[in-house]
Structure 1
Amino acid sequence: MRITRRSAAALCVAAALAAAPLAAAVLPSTAAGTDPIGVAARPAEGSTNVIADGSRIVLGDAPVRMGSAEIKQRSGIGNLDPVRFPAATSAVVVDYTTSTPDGSTAEVDVRALVKDRWSEWTPAKAGTPTALPGASDLVQLRIIVVAPPSGAKPWVEDVRVQPTDKAASSGMEVQAAPLKSRVFATREGLVGGTTANGHVIISRDHFVALPSRRGLANNGSGNYSVKVCTTTGTIRCAFEPVWDVGPWNTKDDYWNPSATREMWKDLPQGRPEAQAAYQNGYNGGKDQFGRTVANPAGIDLADGTFWDALKLTNNAWVDTTYLWTGDGGRGTVSITSGYLNVRSTASSTGAVVGMAGKAAQVPVECQVTGQSVSGSQGTSNIWLRVHAGMYVAKAWISAGSFGAC
């Protein structure tokens, strides 16, 4: 068994999508602005397969998950209550104790509320204070525990966080436009399996998987979402939450600048490691687990996204926009299940040119007046343009007002 005491800085990378309301309690700061703040071992909203044991967060008893990465692991996520400091800070230091027996792992991630949106989750590296992407007085910590198929019970305890001014620039300032890259998409399938955030996959499901937990949304949340568009024939787009980790890798945040990628820092931004391994023999043609890469996939699509939203019949290259990596107007798809049709005109008689999944964020370019529609947000004749020639009814979107098209 390995027990480690870590003092770590947390780098919160790239502005995320519009912040969801904080259902969990927000912990107040201590009297002194730079004192460490203890974070209770109380799994908050979005936690999965962890239990609280005194001051510890421990991996739970759920069996091996079956998701996009297809790695035989037991895993758990413990979101902790957000912490508010008395003043905005440019960096934080995290301190905690871990136990990682029998090949298991445990880490603490952090994110910050910047420009009213949550930044990307980033592992709290040991020892060195690290800058946030912008000044913030509200941060949240997350515990990730992973173990082999049986036996080990990793845990994290005594989590504390404090602001610091001893950090270099993060190099992750918020972009005006989110990153878009062309990547190879594969179909996930695995109906009945469990994704990395605890979602149980249903038939014709709507979500995507990316090969890093940095952009992994909570189950039922879409504050980390993507826009995925076809590249041939009549263009169709899907707007989906990131609910799983994969394909191939689990630490390949290729949408981030090379210098801040968790692994594979010598690859250019936007190029997945699996693509480089498959096309160019990078890393000996293998993924981070030593498996020979059999296709260049950088994103996995749930069946409903693959077959219904994009009308794909085989794996294909797609243009993917990682919406949390940039600024811009956003709305949230407010439906209880299924998907929302994306139309070619501001009318329910317009051709269906894509779909938006439950809780997904959609980028809003502008708004137009069209057919009156009744939905979860009331009755409205306002439609939002989410891509050139693509509209969704505002009656089903939680959002503010936007300029006219």
Structure 2
Amino acid sequence: MRITLRSKAALCVATALAAAPLAVTALPSSAASPDQVSVAAQPLEGSSNVRVEGSRIILGDAPATMGSVEIRQRSGLAELDPVRFPSATSAVIVGYTSGTPDKSSAEVDVRALVNSKWSEWTPAKSGTPTALPGASDLVQLRIIVSAPISGGKPWVGDLTVQPTDQAAAGQMVIQAAPLKSRVFATREGLVGGTTANGHVIIQRDHFVALPSRRGLSSNDGGSYSVKVCTTAGTLRCAFEPVWDVGPWNTKDDYWNPSAIREMWKDLPQGRPEAQAAYQNGYNGGKDQFGRTVLNPAGIDLADGTFWDALALTNNAWVDATYLWTGDGGRGTVAISSGYLNVRNAASSNGAIVGMAGKAAQITVECQTTGQSVTGSQGTTNVWLRVHTGMYVSKAWISAGTFGAC
């Protein structure tokens, strides 16, 4: 896991399933009172730095990832096959055993398919009901294991999950529109390093980092994506997957309301802890690790997002929209590498006004006709409006049909 220190001193799920079908473990529909079901210790593609021993998922042997010189960790992440229940449930009980030697840690998270898309990951305490953001018959578990640079191998094993009608506190709510907030953006850099989801950073890469794993996509996945737009000069927007954790904090899901925010529950929704610490001396001006916060950063941008998509030359304030927090038209960027240009007209001759990274979710306001383009989704003259005055060809977007512009 990378924890950045920025200073001079220091799925639309339908398309995701179509692209990479998942095996689904089902509970028997004949069960009057469904029993718990065992979840196989079989990490899916996109998992990183874990190995399996019997029923246990154990931290792998990859070295500590790049990041702050003060805090470096070895980290592993494993997503498991989804589990389907015979009927929808609003809460689940996750069971597991774990081992955390030598100051290491192990966490199990759960998410649910609600309104045809995956909800945010929520930590699940073994044997305790965990609320889902809505009634769902499909849930998925994720394992995160971390340890100091040398030493122990944390593990999680004997995983089970079952629906429950027991009350569970802290239910997440998917809003009518996703949250947008103005935050300070810093450039990540760190080419050659490894992100929290196992992605190796390349030159002029396209992704973002947010300071909580709750909105962390799997490697090469885009279930959790953001729309980032400039706030000064010529308007440009980027659509990018969340592939890393940072800056400053690792448990600051500031896009969530106070009732379910993991830490800093007295801060208003949309305000990063680092911003409050830097501007107002919140928490004594320090982050969760006790470091003095030297800038108000709430999002990190990979170099391609920073320099090319948004044409930034220095750290800057941006408008960030956390797409998984709300409903609305969506599509998925269906390219094997690189990025997709966002243009100011429904034509490849239109000026570039932004970019969309591999696997990123994009907002779709409507569709129109324009230049015919051939891409991963075939040949089409349909273009999607992703923001006022901004278009992408549907030839590169996995999406349904939308109303005319």
Same fold at TM > 0.5: yes
Q: 1:96 to 1:69 in 2, by over 3 A?
A: farther
Matched, 1:321 2:321: yes
- Amino acid corresponding to residue 222 of structure 1 in structure 2: G
Q: Which residue of structure 1 aligns with residue 196 of structure 2?
A: 196
Q: In the TM superposition, what are the counterparts of 1:138-149 in structure 2 within 5 Å?
A: 138-149=138-149
Q: Which residue of structure 2 aligns with residue 99 of structure 1?
A: 99
Q: Which residue of structure 2 aligns with residue 160 of structure 1?
A: 160
Q: Distance in 1 between matches of 2:69 and 2:331?
A: 29
- Amino acid corresponding to residue 300 of structure 2 in structure 1: D
Q: Distance in 2 between matches of 1:45 and 1:68?
A: 28
| CA displacement at 1:130 relative to structure 2 | 3.0
1:99 and 1:156 in contact (8 A); partners too: yes
Q: Distance in 2 between matches of 1:154 and 1:262?
A: 22
Q: 1:209 to 1:347 in 2, by over 3 A?
A: same
| CA displacement at 1:171 relative to structure 2 | 4.5
Matched, 1:226 2:233: no
Q: Which residue of structure 1 aligns with residue 21 of structure 2?
A: 23
User: Deviation digits for residues 356-376 of structure 1, max 9, x if unmatched?
Assistant: 011111000000111111111
Q: Distance in 1 between matches of 2:67 and 2:329?
A: 31
| CA displacement at 1:133 relative to structure 2 | 1.0
1:68 and 1:246 in contact (8 A); partners too: no
Q: SS of 1:98's equivalent?
A: strand
Q: Distance in 1 between matches of 2:68 and 2:399?
A: 31
1:23 and 1:45 in contact (8 A); partners too: no
1:379 and 1:395 in contact (8 A); partners too: yes
Q: Which residue of structure 1 aligns with residue 174 of structure 2?
A: 174
Q: SS of 2:140's equivalent?
A: strand
Q: Which residue of structure 2 aligns with residue 12 of structure 1?
A: none
| CA displacement at 1:180 relative to structure 2 | 0.1
Q: Distance in 2 between matches of 1:168 and 1:153?
A: 31
Q: In the TM superposition, what are the counterparts of 1:217-366 in structure 2 within 5 Å?
A: 217-366=217-366
User: Deviation digits for residues 154-199 of structure 1, max 9, x if unmatched?
Assistant: 0011111110011257453321110000000000000000000000
Q: Distance in 2 between matches of 1:310 and 1:36?
A: 48
Q: In the TM superposition, what are the counterparts of 1:77-96 in structure 2 within 5 Å?
A: 77-96=77-96
Aligned residues: 390
Q: Distance in 2 between matches of 1:55 and 1:70?
A: 34
| CA displacement at 1:289 relative to structure 2 | 1.0
- Amino acid corresponding to residue 248 of structure 1 in structure 2: W
Q: SS of 1:260's equivalent?
A: coil
Q: Which residue of structure 1 aligns with residue 396 of structure 2?
A: 396
Q: SS of 2:259's equivalent?
A: helix
| CA displacement at 1:67 relative to structure 2 | 4.8
Q: TM-score, normalised by structure 1?
A: 0.94
Q: Which residue of structure 1 aligns with residue 8 of structure 2?
A: none
Q: Distance in 1 between matches of 2:237 and 2:158?
A: 45
Q: Which residue of structure 2 aligns with residue 114 of structure 1?
A: 114
1:110 and 1:121 in contact (8 A); partners too: yes
| CA displacement at 1:336 relative to structure 2 | 1.2
Mean Cα deviation higher: 119-128 or 385-394: 119-128
Q: Distance in 2 between matches of 1:177 and 1:223?
A: 16
Q: Distance in 2 between matches of 1:34 and 1:79?
A: 23
- Amino acid corresponding to residue 192 of structure 1 in structure 2: G
1:68 and 1:195 in contact (8 A); partners too: no
Q: SS of 2:195's equivalent?
A: coil
User: Deviation digits for residues 302-347 of structure 1, max 9, x if unmatched?
Assistant: 0000000000000000000000000011111111111111000111
2:94 and 2:128 in contact (8 A); partners too: no
1:68 and 1:209 in contact (8 A); partners too: no
Q: Distance in 2 between matches of 1:210 and 1:189?
A: 15
Q: Distance in 2 between matches of 1:318 and 1:244?
A: 18
Q: Distance in 2 between matches of 1:278 and 1:393?
A: 41
1:67 and 1:195 in contact (8 A); partners too: no
Q: Distance in 2 between matches of 1:77 and 1:58?
A: 10
1:69 and 1:245 in contact (8 A); partners too: no
Mean Cα deviation higher: 129-138 or 302-311: 129-138
CA RMSD, 1 decimal: 1.5
User: Deviation digits for residues 76-106 of structure 1, max 9, x if unmatched?
Assistant: 0111111111111110011111110010000
| CA displacement at 1:71 relative to structure 2 | 3.1
Mean Cα deviation higher: 116-125 or 31-40: 31-40
Identical-residue share of aligned pairs (%): 79
Q: 1:273 to 1:316 in 2, by over 3 A?
A: same
Q: Structure 2: 5+ residue runs without aligned partners?
A: 1-10
Q: 1:194 to 1:18 in 2, by over 3 A?
A: same
